[in-house]
Amino acid sequence: MPSTTTHAATGPAPAPVGRRERKKAATRQAIADAALRLFLERGYDEVGIREIADAADVSTTTLFKHFPVKEALVFDEDSDQEARLLAAVRERPEGRSIPAALREHALTTRLATGAAEDGDFAAFANLVATTPALRDYAQNMWLRHAAALARVIAEESGLAADDPVCAALAHFALEAPRAASTHDNPRQAIVRAFDLLEHGWSGHAQADA
Amino acid sequence: MPSTTTHAATGPAPAPVGRRERKKAATRQAIADAALRLFLERGYDEVGIREIADAADVSTTTLFKHFPVKEALVFDEDSDQEARLLAAVRERPEGRSIPAALREHALTTRLATGAAEDGDFAAFANLVATTPALRDYAQNMWLRHAAALARVIAEESGLAADDPVCAALAHFALEAPRAASTHDNPRQAIVRAFDLLEHGWSGHAQADA
DNA sequence: CTCAATAAGTGCAACAGTACAACTTTTGAA
DNA sequence: TTCAAAAGTTGTACTGTTGCACTTATTGAG
């Protein structure tokens, strides 16, 4: 997702307290911004690491201290997103089921990302879709998120960690928004999908608070 | 899969007719063998391309003419396997259902690979499992195979190319053997899984010859 | 049989992504 | 002020991968 330095308060990143950490975050952001700009201008494969580092006015070593591999420059907010996703399940209000929490999360984040920067976002999506390296990387990210989510679901629901139901719910919860984006009315699609899921689910696991 | 140059007649590769093509195949095999040996001896990341090329007595350029990327050295027989898989569906005997053909294929290839070289095979599996680059690559291979299989299923069954049923069957057919390998009695597991599948399937698509 | 087209293979230099190590500057706190 | 840790820098080198110019072997057609 393109990040324009100013992002709404949709998660656990509102408090970079120390002067140090703020500077660090700033550097990181400068790198990510420069990278994304160059990538969108000229294509992922046409822009080298050294050039990005130059554009952000840091050394390549510094760049790699912030982003472990080139692809990570594009999926900057990856870990933040994952953290928010897991938090949405872990810290859901009392009495709300896990699927309901997931639906809620899917809806809010979809609104947030799709809102202000629809043009940028389309360009970004296109970049990823047309660059094989990025497609692969995104796919693996997706799998990692699904796995992490499955573990959290297992913890929260009290099911066995390797219960297929957890994996299935996780997969579904991540797949639904993906599928919905090709729909004419994404929000409606998400709601429907999750409604269906919840009923199937409640038969399986009634043990969540 | 480890390939010991002498492999049973389990597929469509028995006729490298021209002198030229035979030499080419020999070179390829020499490279793959050298690579696999070195990888198993010292680990994937500890062996460089140049060293492999030396061991097979070819130049790195030649090596890359046979294998597009380093990982492909390990999954040498990838495309052969995929071809056999698709052929198993396309050229199934008259009157045999698609799931039945897939079950058959799963059983025979499992026997073939698991038979003589169980030690080698375990080492190979371990190599892949412990090397992230290879795990990722294998995962993508799996997805590509599943997609290809789904297309063939669509053709053969007359269903729409993007019918989820095709994708689901393809996924299942490839997943079952994977899951079965952790089972105590793999063959039994495969048979059961496919039996179950066939009944679910026959309700959905009765239109295959 | 000859010959030109084609494919396989060679050697080398270059580039891009990444790692590493030794060093300098900031910065948080005592 | 002082100091140790963290952030950043520089330079260097390794590894996968590609491009280029070139040699050699195979082959199909005349």
Q: Would the CB atoms of A140 and B143 count as touching at under 8 Å? A: no
| B166 — pLDDT class (breaks 50, 70, 90) | confident
Taking the CA of residue B95 and the nearest CA in chain A, the distance in Å comes to 34
Give dist(CA B175, CA B202) in Å, integer: 19
Q: From the CB of residue B135, how many other CB atoms can be counted at a distance below 10 Å?
A: 13
Q: How high is the mean pLDDT of chain B?
A: 82
pTM higher than 0.85:
no
Taking the CA of residue A69 and the nearest CA in chain B, the distance in Å comes to 13
Residue A63 pLDDT greater than 90, yes or no: yes
Among the listed residues B121, B124, B202, the one whose alpha carbon sits nearest the alpha carbon of residue B157: B202
Q: Name the amino acid, one letter, at B114.
A: G
The pLDDT of residue A60 is: 94
Query: Gap from B18 CA to C4 C1', in Å?
Result: 20
Give dist(CA B64, CA B53) in Å, integer: 9
Residue B70, phi then psi, degrees to nearest 5: -55, -45
CB B50 within 8 A of CB B44: no
Span of A32-36, B31-35, B94-98, B106-110 with lowest mean pLDDT: B106-110
Q: How high is the mean pLDDT of chain A?
A: 81
Give dist(CA A41, CA A39) in Å, integer: 5
The pLDDT of residue B11 is: 39
Write the CB contacts of B34 (distance below 8 Å, at least 6 apart in sequence): B52, B55, B56
Span of A67-71, A176-180, B71-75, B193-197 with lowest mean pLDDT: B193-197
Q: Tokens 């510094």 — which residue? A: A62
> Domains in chain B, please, with CATH?
19-73 (1.10.10.60), 78-203 (1.10.357.10)
Mapping DSSP onto H, E and C, the string for B69-123 reads CHHHHHCCCHHHHHHHHHHHHHCCCCCCCHHHHHHHHHHHHHHHHHCCCHHHHHH
Residue B206 pLDDT greater than 70, yes or no: no
Nucleotide nearest to B30 (CA to C1'): C9
Residue A196 pLDDT greater than 70, yes or no: no
Q: Name the amino acid, one letter, at A188.
A: Q
The pLDDT of residue B117 is: 58
Nucleotide nearest to B26 (CA to C1'): C8
Residue A1 pLDDT greater than 60, yes or no: no
| B1 — pLDDT class (breaks 50, 70, 90) | very low
CB B138 within 8 A of CB B74: no
Residue A209 pLDDT greater than 60, yes or no: no
- The strand D neighbours among B residues 31-50, by Cβ under 7 Å, are 47-50
Residue A11 pLDDT greater than 50, yes or no: no
The pLDDT of residue A180 is: 77
Query: Gap from B34 CA to C3 C1', in Å?
Result: 38
Q: Which residue has the higher pLDDT, A109 or A35?
A: A35
Span of A67-76, A177-186, B35-44 with lowest mean pLDDT: A177-186
B23 touches strand D (CB under 7 A): yes
CB A100 within 8 A of CB A202: no
Taking the CA of residue B136 and the nearest CA in chain A, the distance in Å comes to 8
Give dist(CA B117, CA B85) in Å, integer: 21
**Which structure tokens are listed for A142?**
């997706």
What is the per-residue pLDDT across B133-161, written as a single tens digit (0 to 9) for each?
999 999 999 999 999 999 999 999 888 88
Q: Tokens 């299989």 — which residue? A: B149
Residue B132 pLDDT greater than 90, yes or no: yes
Residue A15 pLDDT greater than 80, yes or no: no
Average pLDDT for residues B41-45, to the nearest whole number? 95
- The strand D neighbours among B residues 56-95, by Cβ under 7 Å, are 60-61, 64, 68-70
Neighboring chain A residues of B139 at a CB cutoff of 8 Å: 140, 143
